[in-house]
C-alpha cells in the first residue's frame, strides 16, 4: 500500500526555493525553472526565449503555493487526511480528495499573495490592451510533463476567465486539482512522494481561437519520426484534447512540409465563448460547417514549420497544443499554448521504431535504401 501521508513542502524543497518569488512572468522562466513554476509554465517560458509565438502571462509559483498552503495550515490538514489512506481503497480516496479540495477552495489567499496576483493580472490586461483580459488558468505541477512520467491532464485548466475575483477563485481550483483521487493515486503508483510534488498555476491570455488543436512531431500511432501530425477543430482546443470530437487529421512530411494525408471529420461540437455570460461553453457546430476543413493549407504548413523549430530546440519529439486567433491577421495569428516531450514513442529505443534512422532525413534515406515506400 502506498504511503500518501508525507507532508507537503520538505526542508530540501524549501531550501532550494528560499527567497523565490511568489509570482513571476513567463518570460522570466526557462526549462530549468520546473521546481519554481512546474512543467507547463517552464515550457512556456522556454518557448518564448526560443522565439516561439506564445500568449503572454504569469505564474503563481510553487513558492507562492507553499506560502498559501503553509500560511493557512492546509499542509498539515492535507497530511493528516492522507494518513492511512491507500490507493486500493477508491471510496476512501474519493472522500479524502473531496475534503482536501473543499478545504483548499474555501481558504482565501493572504492579503499579500492576493495583491501580487491581482497586480500581475492588471498589468497583463494593460499589456494586452483589454480590460478584464480573458485568460486561461492552467495548472502546472512540478512532476508534470517529465520525459519519463507524463502527468498531463492530471490537474485542471479553466478557459476564458475574466476579472480578478474569478482569477483568484480558479487559481485555488487549480491548486485543489492537485488532490483529485486520480492524481493522488497516480503519483503514489509512480513512486512520487507527496512532499516532493508542488503546483504552480499559469494565468495566460486566451487566444480567441477560430481553430485549435494538438500537433505531434512524431506519428503518435506508429512512432514515425519523418512526419508531423496535426489534429484540429473549430473553437478552443478543449474538444480535441478531451476527445469529445473526432478532429480533422493532417499528416505532414517533416522535410518538405507537404501535406501527405488529410481526413476531414464531421465536427458536431466545439468550445467557444458565450457572448452573454463571457464564459467558455460547448456549442453545436452549424451543419453547413461540420465537414468544412478547420485549417487552411497555409496554416497547416506554418504549424508544421513551427513544430520542427520546437522539436529542434528541445532535441526530442514533442506534443504541442496550438491555436489560431481570429482577432489577429494571418501571418501572426498562430500561437503555441503548450509544448511537452512526447512520452509514448520517445521512451522506446529509436532502433525499435525506425531501424538505424536518427533524424527524419535518416529515416527517409534508410527507407529508400530498403525499398520501402516513403509517403
Q: Which CATH number fits the domain 11-205, given the four candidates 1.20.1260.10, 3.30.1490.20, 3.55.30.10, 3.60.20.10?
A: 3.30.1490.20
Rounded to whole angstroms, how far apart are CA atoms 85 and 95? 10
pLDDT of the residue at 184: 87
Cβ neighbors of 364 (< 8 A, separation 6 or more) are 226, 255, 374
**Residue 290: other Cβ atoms inside 10 A:** 17
pLDDT of the residue at 360: 55
Give domain limits for the chain: 11-205, 209-369
pLDDT of the residue at 347: 67
Q: Which residue has the cell 505541477?
A: 141
Task: For the chain of 375 residues, list the mean pLDDT of each consecutive stretch of 10.
Answer: 36 49 97 93 96 97 96 91 80 93 97 98 96 95 58 71 97 94 85 81 96 97 96 96 95 97 98 90 96 97 97 96 94 94 74 45 49 46
pLDDT of the residue at 49: 96
pLDDT of the residue at 28: 97
pLDDT of the residue at 107: 97
Rounded to whole angstroms, how far apart are CA atoms 309 and 315? 10
Considering the domain 209-369, what is its CATH architecture?
A: 2-Layer Sandwich (3.30)
Nearest to 226 by CA among 118, 374, 329: 374
Question: Can you give the pTM of this predicted structure?
Answer: 0.84
Contact 340, 43 (CB under 8 A): yes
Amino acid at each position: 500500500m502506498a504511503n500518501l501521508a508525507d507532508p507537503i513542502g520538505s526542508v530540501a524543497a524549501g531550501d532550494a526555493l528560499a527567497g523565490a518569488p511568489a509570482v513571476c512572468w513567463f518570460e522570466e522562466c526557462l526549462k530549468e525553472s520546473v521546481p519554481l513554476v512546474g512543467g507547463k509554465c517552464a515550457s512556456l517560458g522556454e518557448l518564448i526565449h526560443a522565439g516561439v509565438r506564445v500568449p503572454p502571462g504569469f505564474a503563481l509559483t510553487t513558492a507562492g503555493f507553499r506560502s498559501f498552503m503553509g500560511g493557512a495550515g492546509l499542509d498539515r490538514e492535507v497530511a493528516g487526511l492522507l494518513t492511512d489512506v491507500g490507493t486500493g481503497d477508491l471510496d476512501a480516496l474519493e472522500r479524502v480528495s473531496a475534503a482536501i479540495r473543499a478545504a483548499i477552495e474555501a481558504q482565501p489567499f493572504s492579503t499579500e499573495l492576493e495583491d501580487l496576483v491581482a497586480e500581475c493580472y492588471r498589468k497583463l490586461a494593460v499589456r494586452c490592451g483589454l480590460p478584464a483580459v480573458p485568460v486561461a488558468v492552467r495548472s502546472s505541477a512540478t512532476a508534470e510533463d517529465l520525459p519519463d512520467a507524463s502527468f498531463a491532464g492530471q490537474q485542471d485548466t479553466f478557459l476564458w476567465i475574466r476579472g480578478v475575483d474569478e482569477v483568484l477563485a480558479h487559481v485555488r481550483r487549480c491548486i485543489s486539482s492537485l488532490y483529485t483521487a486520480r492524481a493522488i493515486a497516480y503519483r503514489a503508483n509512480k513512486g512520487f512522494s507527496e512532499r516532493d510534488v508542488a503546483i504552480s498555476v499559469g494565468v495566460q491570455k486566451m487566444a480567441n481561437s477560430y481553430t485549435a488543436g494538438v500537433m505531434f512531431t512524431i506519428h503518435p500511432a506508429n512512432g514515425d519520426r519523418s512526419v508531423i501530425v496535426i489534429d484540429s477543430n473549430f473553437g478552443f482546443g478543449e474538444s480535441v484534447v478531451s476527445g469529445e470530437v473526432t478532429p480533422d487529421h493532417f499528416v505532414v512530411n517533416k522535410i518538405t512540409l507537404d501535406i501527405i494525408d488529410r481526413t476531414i471529420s464531421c465536427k458536431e461540437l466545439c468550445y467557444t465563448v458565450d457572448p452573454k455570460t463571457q464564459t467558455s461553453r460547448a456549442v453545436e457546430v452549424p451543419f453547413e460547417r461540420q465537414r468544412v476543413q478547420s485549417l487552411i493549407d497555409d496554416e497547416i504548413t506554418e504549424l508544421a514549420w513551427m513544430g520542427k523549430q520546437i522539436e529542434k530546440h528541445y532535441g526530442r519529439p514533442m506534443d504541442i497544443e496550438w491555436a489560431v486567433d481570429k482577432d489577429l491577421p494571418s501571418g501572426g495569428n498562430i500561437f503555441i499554448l503548450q509544448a511537452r516531450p512526447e512520452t509514448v514513442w520517445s521512451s522506446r529505443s529509436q532502433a525499435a521504431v525506425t531501424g538505424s534512422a536518427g533524424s527524419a532525413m535518416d529515416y527517409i534515406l534508410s527507407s529508400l535504401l530498403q525499398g520501402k515506400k516513403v509517403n
